[in-house]
Amino acid sequence: MPAGVQACEPDMKHWRETTEIVERVLALAAGGRRAAIATVVRIQGSSYRRPGARLLIEDDGRTHGSVSGGCLEADVRDVALRVIQSGTPRLIHYDTGADDRTVWGLGLGCNGSVDVFVQAATEARTLEALREMQTRLAKKSPFVVSTTVDGPDAGRAIVLDAGPRDTGSQVTHEGANLVFTEVFEPPPTLIVCGAGDDARPLVTYASEAGFAVTILDHRQAFLTAERFPLAHRLLCRRPEAGVDDLGVDPRTLVIVMTHSFAHDRDWLKCFLATSAQYVGLLGPRERADGILGRLGARDDSRVFAPVGLSLGADGPEQIAISVVAELLSVFSRQQPGHLREKTEAIHA
């Protein structure tokens, strides 16, 4: 690995995936089981996952999570099972260059390289760091984990509060050690106003994409875990109750889709008075223009109405895909387009 620093913004799913893996490891340890964690620490060129992506390998071979699109997992699993037995961490370098036979005969050919750190997850010092991570994940405040991935102190991890300069993951040389530092930021909040049937695929896809979804509706019967199993919060309220207690900030995105002209208007009025970075409105353009005209908000650049990307979508599931695609585009500040037209690396 080259000297110096390689910085990268974390995957938006980083928080949720890490939470699930940390909780699983602690449960395994409590039951006397063993496991290993494989973490992507550096990428160069094309790669399916970003630094911080994790794969949990249990002592019986079962896995959770991913470090690639499926091409590395089998080999990483084999390495991890040996690490569980030996307790010795390993830093593995995969070079998926133009010669698709270069990665130990794995036949990848992705024109990039990936470094994956594999460590025993249920040994004492790792468990201590994971418990500290669990506490901070529950608090939903930013924090930093610095893990030595190569050198005399390989496997040591330090968990600290995030500072104003901690904005991305990076690999640095610190004396004889190579250290991977990753920044954990709580997932962005998506607030969905309206719990109708068409909100169900939207909430599912947005949650799986990494958003923490809050649903607002005045109909208590619609706000059930059976209808929205992945939702972060289900709140029964009308627009007149306000949104001051929802913690809306510049990382908050809002979709208004109550199918009621009056409710849509009133929810829009509430959220346009906040610092939310995105406010989407479901429905035809003429209806949207009428609502926004009454609110004097036609020129508000945060408003996306009609909501979603133009994908030729039809029906709740396809419309949900177009909306979530737009949410990802806005949050990542990326102009939508075909990847075949992008000249640099996909995650650049």
Q: How confident is the model at residue 345 (pLDDT cuts 50, 70, 90)?
A: low
pLDDT average, residue stretch 40-69 = 89
What is the pLDDT of the chain when averaged over all its residues?
A: 90
d(CA 342, CA 348): 10
Q: Are residues 84 and 201 in the same domain?
A: no
Whether 154 is in a domain gets the answer: no
pLDDT at 254 over 90: yes
Whether 175 is in a domain gets the answer: no
Q: Are residues 221 and 130 in the same domain?
A: no
User: What is the tens place of the pLDDT at every residue in 163-215?
Assistant: 877 778 899 999 999 999 999 999 999 999 999 999 999 999 999 999 999 99
d(CA 3, CA 253): 39
Largest CA distance in the chain: 68
Whether 74 is in a domain gets the answer: yes
pLDDT at 2 over 60: no
Q: Are residues 224 and 286 in the same domain?
A: yes
How many Cβ atoms sit within 10 Å of the Cβ of residue 93?
11
pLDDT at 97 over 70: no
pLDDT of residue 207: 95
Give the alpha-carbon dihedral of 57, 61, 64, 70, to 10 degrees: 100
pLDDT at 101 over 60: no
User: What is the tens place of the pLDDT at every residue in 64-85?
Assistant: 999 988 889 999 999 999 999 9
Q: Are residues 199 and 135 in the same domain?
A: no
Whether 167 is in a domain gets the answer: no
Q: Are residues 224 and 298 in the same domain?
A: yes
> Identity (one letter) of the amino acid at 21?
I
Out of 139, 156, 171, a domain closes at: 139
Q: Are residues 194 and 269 in the same domain?
A: yes
- Whole-model pTM: value is 0.81
What is the extent of the structural domain holding 275? Answer: 189-331
pLDDT of residue 5: 46
> Domain total for the chain?
2
Whether 340 is in a domain gets the answer: no
Out of 139, 155, 170, a domain closes at: 139
Q: Are residues 250 and 311 in the same domain?
A: yes
Q: Are residues 326 and 197 in the same domain?
A: yes
Whether 252 is in a domain gets the answer: yes
Q: How confident is the model at residue 105 (pLDDT cuts 50, 70, 90)?
A: very low
pLDDT average, residue stretch 306-325 = 95
pLDDT of residue 224: 97
Whether 161 is in a domain gets the answer: no
Q: How confident is the model at residue 8 (pLDDT cuts 50, 70, 90)?
A: low
d(CA 337, CA 8): 22
Q: Are residues 193 and 274 in the same domain?
A: yes
d(CA 24, CA 19): 9
Q: Are residues 123 and 238 in the same domain?
A: no
Helices (H), 2-150: 14-30, 73-86, 124-139
- Per the structure block, which two tokens stand in for 273? 């008075």
Whether 55 is in a domain gets the answer: yes
Q: Are residues 230 and 96 in the same domain?
A: no
The count of residues in the chain is 348
pLDDT of residue 146: 96
Least trusted range by pLDDT, from 107-121, 134-148, 254-268, 296-310: 107-121
pLDDT average, residue stretch 243-263 = 96
Q: Tell me, what CATH number does 282's domain have?
A: 3.40.50.720
Spacing of C-alpha 226 from chain mean position = 23
